[in-house]
Amino acid sequence: MNWQELKREADKLSVSDRLKLVESIVRSINHDVNPRPPIPEDIVERMTGLAKTRSD
């Protein structure tokens, strides 16, 4: 699908669906521009078992 076809399809969407599409595009771009670095394996190992539940 080229840009013109995509725009025509987007124009058919409701306002709320177009806003959802914009939000999705912004999140996608943000993820590409600011990717999260992977968590080092040794940190994951140290964190194992740290989560506790309250026993009140």
Instruction: Dump pLDDT digits (tens) for 38-51.
Output: 877 777 666 666 55
Whether 21 contacts 9, CB under 8 Å: no
The token pair at 48 is: 């194992």
What is the model's pLDDT at position 8?
A: 96
Helix (H, G, I), strand (E, B), or coil: what is residue 15? Answer: helix
Confidence band of 56 (pLDDT split at 50, 70, 90):
low
What are the CB-based long-range contacts (under 8 Å, 24+) for 13-21? none
Confidence band of 52 (pLDDT split at 50, 70, 90):
low
